[in-house]
Amino acid sequence: MLPKKFVSRESMPPEADESIYMKTSLILLSLAFATQAAWAQPPTPLVTVPASGLPAASVNPAQLAPDSSATDAEIRLLEQMKAANEQILSKQKAVLERLDEMDQAADQLKAFAQRG
């Protein structure tokens, strides 16, 4: 509410007008957030089924042991991937070293250009 000493909008100082706009925008922004929160959907509830009285299934150790030929094949594949990664890393290292050399050469050129 405006103080009684201000009769019209023209007699109000600019600070009072900015304050009204600030308060109005703050109220509208708060109202927008409250509306968004009201429309938001709650998370879907998780429905769990209670455990029944059935006995636990017995696990055969032979079923847990992986097939050795499949494991050997996977190990060989992983070793090939490791070798390929090492080659890529060595190439990247060489490129980085070359870039460092080029950067040093560019710095030297800049230094010589400033002297001459």
pLDDT at position 3 is: 52
The pLDDT mean for the chain works out to 78
What sections of 2-67 are H helices per DSSP?
14-39, 61-64
- Reported as a single tens digit per residue, the pLDDT across 81-102 is 999 999 999 999 999 999 999 9
Domain edges within the chain: 1-39, 70-116
- Reported as a single tens digit per residue, the pLDDT across 25-34 is 889 888 888 8
| Mean pLDDT (whole number) for 19-44 | 79
Could you give the angle at the alpha carbon of 109 between the alpha carbons of 106 and 110, nearest 5°? 90
pTM listed for this prediction: 0.38
